Structure 1
Amino acid sequence: MSRVCVISPFTGLAGDMLLAALVDAGAPLEAVRAAVADTGLSGWDLTVERVLTHGLTGSRAVVSVTDDATSRGAGELIAMADRVRDRVVADTAVAALKAIAEVEGHLHGEDPDLVHLHELGGHDTLVDVVGVVAALRALDVRTVHCEALPIGSGTVRTAHGVLPCPAPATSALLRGALVVGTDLPGETVTPTAAALLRALGADYHPAPEMRMEATGYGVGTRTLPDRPNVAVVRLGDRAVADVRDLVVLETNLDDVTGEVLGHLLARLLDAGALDSWITPVVMKKGRPGHVLHALATPETADEVERLMFAESGTLGVRRTGVSRTALPRTTDTVHLHGMRVRRKHGPHHSKAEYEDAVAVARRTGLPLRLVLAMVTDLPEEP
């Protein structure tokens, strides 16, 4: 079976809200504390308290701090996260922190390794990032789904002054995420939460059919006048195939270069296509051409189609409704020659993530086919 976590950001999402919701759903607090302790962070304590808000009981994560370091360099936080003994937790936490560093570095014109984090450089960020990943690991969650993130309006006050909501760093980290407007003012999604969703590879498509096991409510620090400020997680086992109605979009092209076609495939995936591919064909008058295809959900089909028109210059796109059966799958991470390699597992086959295997082949000089075989045969890491 494949353990699934579905995140419902009722009023938004912050790192501490997600951490509290996971503990509320059954993640052992001691496992979370142990992972944070591995980082070498000093002067902190993490507790989770029960809170009643607007008739709903949930959990709130509280980080108590006894030292006065409120900001750190990104490189320091990343190095601390990399000390976590569980390599899966360490690698995912490092990926989230690197995403924050890269975005902040780009926004401020600095090297990501040298960028200084202000609001994000304190204890809370490291505790939240490492804690969330450790909680998911302890719950044996293999797949994370997230419903549309509510985006607030107005402004947020930062170390750089008053900025529009969502803050520029959050906006950059949410690229590719599913969002929706809300009547709530201020910051509803934090950069830490956005970076975690990216590092976890959160899926924003409708959650698969699953057998419900637990629900957790994470309460935020802000008090709202008319509703509980909570994020909800639902845990379950996905034991059946996922049958979903999808859309195939395609167009014939005979005047587009190979370079543009290759660029188009990547752009369609960025726009939300589940898959994209090209078929060579012979068109009228014997002209060689290509059929550009994209597989999309009904929700993303319009955006994928818009991009097809804009990037290819075509004058027409065909749509066909299809039904796809997807078998349950899980992912894990192993290490080969000291390098991190992700793997996908289905009921009948396992395979390495292509880009990770290529990186190992290039660094070691081993044939790619041998690296792929070695990764497939490696036992699951604890």
Structure 2
Amino acid sequence: MILSLNPFGGLAGDMLLAALLDAGASLDAVRRAVALTGLTGWRVEAEQVRTGPLVAVRFRVEVEDDATERPAAELIAMAARAGLPVAEAALTAIAEVEGRLHGVPAAGVHLHELGGHDTLIDIVGCAAALRDLGVTRVHCAPLPLGGGTVRTRHGVLPVPAPATLALLQGAVVRGGAAGEAVTPTGAALLRAAGADYGPAPEMTLRATGYGAGTREVPGRPNVVVAMLGEPTAETTQQVVLSANLDDVTGEVLGHVIERALAAGAADAWVTPAVMKKTRPAHVLHVLTPPELAGRLEELVLAETGSLGLRRGVVDKVALPRHFETVRLHGQDVRMKHGPWGVKPEHDDLVRLAAATGRPLRQLAREALDAL
């Protein structure tokens, strides 16, 4: 599922979580994830509120412990217990940025304003909601930066806060009205989710949600809009080269496939066949973009010695996909996400199996569990 965000009023962790809940995420799933962290003395609710002319959802946190200071390492460890990589990555990003800004190692960062219950709840809750909705890609429209100043433990700082700006490196931003429009928590969640920026992608819209912030803005709703949609397929025209071969060895066929793929073929494969005079044979197929067809045709004819081949034009339907990486036994394993599932890259598993001596099937299950 694709999540496309319109940060109309800005973006904070509680606003994003409220929008996801309004779009259909389960509040019980959020509560279960927060409970796994070991955090105590909290209660969360989602309520409908009016902000400007719109009705939206506001996420509300009530805590018995109102302390706002904790070591970043403590929050990261608690998020890890929930088994949500996005939450762990968001808190790690905050710790790394704060460490760079204040000249201390990330492991020694002590969070002040961001060290409270609500930071952990917002981040873990958002990660749980994304998982509950099956979100695999996140897009965001340009973020309003806001302006002015904010009072912190370190004194008066400009808005956006330095930590927010550091977390937004690579994001597309725009000017905005005075006030803190994007919080460090919101920026960290976008970074951890691998958000892309720009116009909403092509998708089939399935649900929308409106998440309200706590700040009242005269004359306009203070909301972030979440749009959930299913990806649409991309259709391109491709050329298929085919050659019937009854006098080419398996070694040569494998070599031709490797060379064709290295030269830019979209795919290459062999099927068994019975030719004239009932000779057993193989049909070599090469799928290629039209602009590479001539070069790949020469390659096939030169390598196989065939006196001819066939060209056919086909429509290739490609569903969108993207990759993320999980860390397993000290090595990176790429995970390929499609609209209907996810699987680890085979070559990465082969390398890991050789390094660890573990069975390939076991490593595949571990990689999926690590998501």
Normalising by structure 2, report the TM-score. Answer: 0.70
Structure 2 counterparts to residues 182-221 of structure 1, below 5 A:
182=176, 184-221=177-214
Tell me the residue number matched to 2:68. Answer: 70
Compute the RMSD of aligned alpha carbons.
3.2
- Match 2:233 to one of 216, 236, 240: 240
Pair 1:170 & 2:172 matched: no
Change (3 A) 1:97 1:334: closer
Tell me the residue number matched to 2:301. Answer: none
Structure 2 counterparts to residues 314-329 of structure 1, below 5 A:
327-329=319-321
Pair 1:223 & 2:223 matched: no
Shift of 1:70: 2.0
Identical residues among aligned pairs (%): 58
- Match 2:151 to one of 147, 157, 164: 157
SS of residue paired to 2:11: coil
Shift of 1:349: 10
Write out per-residue CA displacement over residues 188-238 of structure 1, whole angstroms, 9 at most, x where no aligned residue. Answer: 000001000000000113332111111100000000011010001000111
- Match 1:82 to one of 70, 80, 83: 80
**Structure 1: distance between partners of 2:121 and 2:320:** 32
Letter in 2 for 1:47: E
| Alpha-carbon contact 1:242-1:328 (below 8 Å) kept | no
Structure 2 counterparts to residues 123-142 of structure 1, below 5 A:
123-142=117-136
Change (3 A) 1:177 1:339: same
Q: Which runs of 5+ in 1 are unaligned?
A: 244-324
Pair 1:39 & 2:20 matched: no
Structure 2 counterparts to residues 231-380 of structure 1, below 5 A:
231-241=224-234, 327-331=319-323, 336-337=328-329, 341-346=333-338, 352=345, 365=355, 380=368
**Structure 2: distance between partners of 1:45 and 1:338:** 37
**Structure 1: distance between partners of 2:37 and 2:235:** 39
Q: Which runs of 5+ in 2 are unaligned?
A: 237-316
Letter in 1 for 2:137: T
**Structure 1: distance between partners of 2:36 and 2:136:** 23
Pair 1:48 & 2:49 matched: no
In our comparison, the structure showing a higher alpha carbon Rg is 2
Change (3 A) 1:10 1:353: farther
| Alpha-carbon contact 1:142-1:331 (below 8 Å) kept | no
Tell me the residue number matched to 1:60. Answer: 58
Letter in 2 for 1:165: V
Write out per-residue CA displacement over residues 259-295 of structure 1, whole angstroms, 9 at most, x where no aligned residue. Answer: xxxxxxxxxxxxxxxxxxxxxxxxxxxxxxxxxxxxx
How many residue pairs end up in the alignment?
Answer: 290
Pair 1:121 & 2:88 matched: no
Tell me the residue number matched to 2:268. Answer: none
Shift of 1:353: 11
Write out per-residue CA displacement over residues 37-78 of structure 1, whole angstroms, 9 at most, x where no aligned residue. Answer: 100111111101100122200000010011232210000000
